[in-house]
Amino acid sequence: MPRAFAPSVSRSENSLQPVPARRPTREEALEAVRTLLRWAGDDPRREGLLGTPDRVVRSYEEFFSGYGVDPVALLQRTFEETDGYDEIVALRDIRFESHCEHHIAPIIGKVHVAYLPNKRVVGISKLARLVEVYAKRLQIQEKMTAQIANTLDEVLQPKGVAVVIEAAHQCMTTRGVHKPGVTMVTSRMLGAFRDDPLSRREVLSMIGTQGGAKLDNV
């Protein structure tokens, strides 16, 4: 479930973490949707819109469910019985749906995740779940890319981590400049994938992108 945050004047100047604010009640959330419907020029009391506030609130519970999951705890269970496997582990084309924090417009795309194990590996479903946790929050793509990579690096402590995200942003395609067909590509490389050009080329080849692949199936 989403948590509401707001700045606090009592916060330490050195703190970078927001202070939790009071979370609105469900009825307050419903009334907020009704207010937006009225602001848009419609009547929330008409038959076709009577159930809209409830549907929107339930949608938000799904869209932003990532706030209720600890991504570090998600990766705690690892496996050491790998028979000495020490090559790249990659999971490609993890589809995700997120929302930009500037316009709450959908971001739809694919994440490619790879790491170079250092004695420990994690179940591949956990990699997909990690992507889901960060996607189900208000996001910008650059931050989401870093969050996934940094969490993998912190928990698994591998020799290298690579995360590449390719996505289409509807805040750019359906409003503003109205430029459909544009793909944004971001990447974060850590460890061997950042320091060793050969390892970097190998993981990019395994992922199957050099930063210019198209999102044909999102």
Report the catalytic residues.
100-103, 141, 169, 171
3-state helix, strand, coil in the chain (%, to 5): 40, 25, 40
The kind and range of the H/E element at 113 are strand 106-116
Select from 198, 141, 136 the least CA-distant residue to 171.
Answer: 141
Size (the chain), residues: 218
Three-state SS at 62 = helix
What angle (nearest 5°) sits at the alpha carbon of residue 101, between those of residues 184 and 129?
Answer: 70
Query: Are the beta carbons of 34 and 50 closer than 8 angstroms?
Result: no
